[in-house]
Structure 1
Amino acid sequence: MSTTETPAAEEPRSARRWLREHSELGVCLLLAVLGALVIADAATISTDFTQRGPIGPKTVPYLVGGLLLVVAALLARDVLRGGRGESESGEDVDLSAPSDWRTVLLLSAAFLANAALIGIIGFPLSGMILFWGCAYALGSRNPVRDPLIAAALSLLTYVAFNHLLGVPLPGGPLMGVL
């Protein structure tokens, strides 16, 4: 009796192998979805105001969305023709090391805390939590220096955007002070 596999058993294995060999198509799909979302969102932009020139508020989003779709198509064509991305070749990168999920989760928590708190406590304080949380996640453990640098970065960013660039950021309890 022969121990050869049936064609039905080979089919899922070859499909998995093909997907593994063309995994870059996932990036193409992500770029295409992002481009479609940008174009769909640009279509909802209201033009109920006086336009001051030939370029309206929809032009740049349409351009960015269209370019994302073009890049997705060109990358997909390259992958399907056998093109592959280069492997990481940095000297300080150990490709056999597992992912550091603790750092990823701590960084995600810092970003989510900033997003959740910015409207409540304002940018200067939520930005300080963000900068301090990122420094902690990336390995800095100085209990005096880290919060001071985080506070300085957050306040400088707030002042630069709010007062110098004219981009209003929520000030929170510090609104009257700065």
Structure 2
Amino acid sequence: MTTWLKGRSELGVSVVLVVLGVLVLTDALSIPTDFAQRGPVGPKAVPVLVGSLLLIVAVLLARDVLRGGKGEAEGGEDIDLTAPADMRTVLLLCGAFLANAALIGLVGFPISGAILFWGAAFALGSRNLVRDPLIAAGMSVVTFLIFNNLLGVPLPGGPLMEVF
């Protein structure tokens, strides 16, 4: 069995796509029809479309792999595929994301988002101690204003909510 699966790792991607598609469709079909209806297209339309497309892509990918198709190796990147993963960067990015998730309810999105943006820049190698926090704060405030004021998606403002 393992020799048959060797060289067919894309089947694992197909399985993940099927699981995601079923999950999305299950959640979509459990949405009440009277929930937030604001036009001819109900709230189920996009999730049902996305779930269906996930299943279609999974079937097409599995069919291609079973017929001998293989994904092409990435040729445009100048990387050493034998080098180990940079776990320090991955852990720093995870830490920035988890800090954002833990702090967003306490200090609001503008502050927690700035920590997230600065942490991501730091994890990816930027070490400018003046520029990076300023850009992170600016990006966070602009993102907050766009979502909260223009798009109508309320984000927790925290102590800065009174300012905006």
What is the TM-score with the length of structure 1 in the denominator? 0.86
Identical aligned residues as a percent: 70
Residues 17-62 of structure 1 show CA distances to partners (whole Å, capped at 9, x for unaligned) of 3223111111111111111110011122122357454321111111
Asked if 1 retains the 8 angstrom alpha-carbon contact of 2:21 and 2:52, the reply is yes
1:90 is displaced (CA, Å) by: 1.9
Match of 1:166 among 152, 156, 164: 152
Q: Distance in 2 between matches of 1:50 and 1:127?
A: 28
Bigger mean CA offset, 47-56 vs 24-33: 47-56
Q: Distance in 2 between matches of 1:163 and 1:46?
A: 28
Pairing of 1:142-153 with structure 2 (within 5 A): 142-153=128-139
Q: Distance in 2 between matches of 1:77 and 1:168?
A: 43
The aligned residue for residue 104 of structure 1 is: 90
The aligned residue for residue 79 of structure 1 is: 65
Q: Distance in 1 between matches of 2:36 and 2:131?
A: 50
Distance 1:95 1:27, change over 3 A: same
Q: Distance in 1 between matches of 2:161 and 2:11?
A: 47
RMSD value over aligned CA atoms? 1.5
Match of 2:24 among 38, 46, 68: 38
Q: Distance in 2 between matches of 1:177 and 1:104?
A: 35
Bigger CA radius of gyration: 1
Q: Distance in 2 between matches of 1:42 and 1:133?
A: 34
The aligned residue for residue 177 of structure 1 is: 163
Tell me, which stretches of 5 or more residues in structure 2 are unaligned?
A: none
Match of 2:46 among 37, 57, 60: 60
1:100 is displaced (CA, Å) by: 1.2
Asked if 1 retains the 8 angstrom alpha-carbon contact of 2:118 and 2:132, the reply is yes
The aligned residue for residue 92 of structure 1 is: 78
Tell me, which stretches of 5 or more residues in structure 1 are unaligned?
A: 1-14
